[in-house]
Amino acid sequence: MSETKQNIPITVDNEQVFAYVEEMLREGTSVKLKVRGNSMAPALMDGKDSVTLEPVAMQKRELSVGDVILFRYNGRFIMHRIVSTYKRGEASDGEGMLITTKGDALTTRETISSKEIIAVAKFKKHSFIKLLARKLRMSRYLRYLQNALKE
């Protein structure tokens, strides 16, 4: 009788996963991941969307406002959208670039050096109608949570 293997879910710490992802990106390999968290909603939703992380070195153009990047910030890995860039001094190698990012669903911003960037995220762009529908679903869910927490 043949033995069947069951798919038993395991939990892996984010730091372990991203250390491996970072190593693969350094070797020039793109990595596809399912999105965790809703800081980029409605464009990217927790568990519903996937991104392909591409090494920064493989980019054929300079990063610009609107690009979504994976970077280190205060010891954590974050994936947010570039909202502004600022070139410091005369550096032309990108080391003098300051980048401000923000999650689409957040009000807070992060300012990082370009050397903190690990990858550029590529993903399927949704239509305006789909983004609007996602936003409406999220706002209903948030109202439900607020009401539940009041009780």
Judge whether 109 lies within some domain: no
Q: Give me the pLDDT at residue 88, please.
A: 73
- Residues 52, 97: Cα–Cα separation, whole Å: 24
Judge whether 72 lies within some domain: yes
Which residue type does 29 have? T
Q: Give me the pLDDT at residue 16, please.
A: 85
- Which residues constitute the domain of residue 67? 14-80+117-150
Judge whether 107 lies within some domain: no
Please check the confidence at residue 13 and state whether its pLDDT lies above 90.
Answer: no
Judge whether 111 lies within some domain: no
Judge whether 95 lies within some domain: no
What total number of domains does the chain contain?
1
Judge whether 112 lies within some domain: no
- Residues 56, 30: Cα–Cα separation, whole Å: 10
Please state the rounded mean pLDDT for residues 117-133.
Answer: 86
Q: Are 51 and 90 in contact (CB under 8 A)?
A: no
Termini Cα distance of the chain: 55
Extract the tokens encoding 49: 């969307």
Judge whether 132 lies within some domain: yes
